[in-house]
Amino acid sequence: MLFNDLIKYILVQVLSKTPMMVGVFIFPTFMSSHDYGVYSILVAIVGVVAICMSLNLHAGIGRHLFNGSIDNARFLGTAFFSLTACSILFVFIWGNIAEDIAIWLQLPKMALLLLLPVAVGVITESVLTQIMIYLRKSATLLTIIAIRCLVVILFSVALVWVLPADKYFGFLYADGAISMGFLFCVLLLLKKRSKLTFDWLYCKKLIGYSLPLIFYSFSLTMLSQSDRIMIGKMIGSSEAGVYSLSYNIGALLLLLMIPVLNAFQPRFYDRLNRNEVCHMEADANNIITLATISTIFLSLWSQHLFSGFFTSNYVHGFTLIPLITVGGLVQVYFVVWSRVLAYYGRTGTISLIVCSCAGLNVLLNLYLIPKLGYFAAAYTTIAAQFVMAILVYAVNRMLAFPVKCVPMPHVLCIVGMLIFYALHQYSLLPTSWYATLLETCFLLYLLKNPIVDFVDKISLNDRKSVSVQ
């Protein structure tokens, strides 16, 4: 069952990000680099708007549903009332400050206002996903997200195609309108699973878990998105568009790994609840193995696969993709280890680590982007991701929580990918496809033992599933 759910959660994550990926691969053919840069900046801001609108309360719903002492129907009702109150308050605040932000970022005020319904869609999808993961209804979740994805793509592409200027408004109009309809449908779907009540004790539980993580979520968003905002402000929207395309391709790794982490989440909490530390660590190693395999292929083959689809203006930034994917792999380590801290109630510690690293990233960007251009943003981001992973690992070890050091084959693969990147940057290795094939085989050979363990684990789970049936 786990493997089937894993495939469905991967499809859910792919579909939920497909409208954005349409923006990555299709919008550049319709838009000028300036319009695409504005679109990328707006997409970067959506995450910040969603966190502020909900005060990050939506992030803690899934965690508390697994608590057997909670009445889930009353808890969901309390969560919906809390989110509604926060959202209404934020809409008034955003309406008053949108003009000042628009002037500072040199963006249309209307575009910033249209981010509000888009952010509602982000929050709604997050809540629905957490509830369906708890209910283990991956097929239902997949169907709902697929329908939403299809409608958003059709409307956004049509509007971007027909708008004569400021084409990024096409995406905002389509996603915003459909997000509000999506919210209404989800409320109807979950009506029977919640009670229209407010429980202050449950609200305090939600705030106690989620509010400390607002700095965590905000900082993670700033770590991944602030660079393109700063590039747009310091250099120009065209350069922000070039960098954003490379970053979005490199971030495909996280697009794959987030649903993998979601699929393992129920089992993760079950393992720790039963003190089955060895099994939890084995699951973590399998996640990291899958992430490493994906990183190898994405970092080495992206330039070969995607260069033919875009103009030379965009392709110039593709040399950054290997570095961005390795940074994504390091962030997977961080997420796995930080969930252990979160389980033991150390959300404040997680937030402190992420805030510090996001601050480091912003300071380095302020200094280096004017000197090195948008390439500096990739260097500073991966540096912050490494520091973040090292710190969360060190804190876990210091508190004697159950985490192990990174297995040596994974370390060797990361070092190997960084060495290949450096050699290619100085033109010391050929860039032909057969040279890339040799590099891929070499890295997979370093990872052969974890790959064998991963395949054996999947085979064992499938055999157990068949025997139960």
- What confidence tens digit (pLDDT) does each residue in 417-427 have? 999 988 988 88
What is the pLDDT at residue 462?
47
Residue with the larger pLDDT of the pair 342 and 395: 395
82-117 pLDDT tens trace: 889 999 999 999 999 999 988 888 888 999 999 999
DSSP characters for 116-177?
Answer: HHHHHHHHHHHHHHHHHHHHT-HHHHHHHHHHHHHHHHHHHHHHHHH-SS-THHHHHHHHHH
Q: Is the pLDDT of residue 464 over 60?
A: no
Q: Tell me the average pLDDT across 359-367.
A: 90
Residue 97: predicted pLDDT: 92
Band (1; pLDDT cuts 50, 70, 90): very low
Give pLDDT tens digits for 303-328: 888 777 776 677 777 888 898 999 98
pLDDT at 467 over 60: no
- In this prediction, residues 282-296 reach a mean pLDDT of 87
Per-residue pLDDT at 247 exceeds 80 = yes
pLDDT above 90 for 302: no
The predicted model gives 339-349 an average pLDDT of 79
pLDDT of residue 414: 92
pLDDT of residue 62: 73
**What does the mean pLDDT of the chain come to?**
81
Is the pLDDT higher at 148 or at 62? 148
% the chain with pLDDT above 90: 16
Instruction: For 5-51, write each residue's pLDDT tens digit.
Output: 666 666 776 666 666 666 666 777 777 767 777 887 888 788 889 88
**Helix, strand, coil percentages in the chain from 3-state DSSP, rounded to 5:** 85, 0, 15
What are the tens digits of pLDDT across the range 170-183? Answer: 888 998 999 999 89
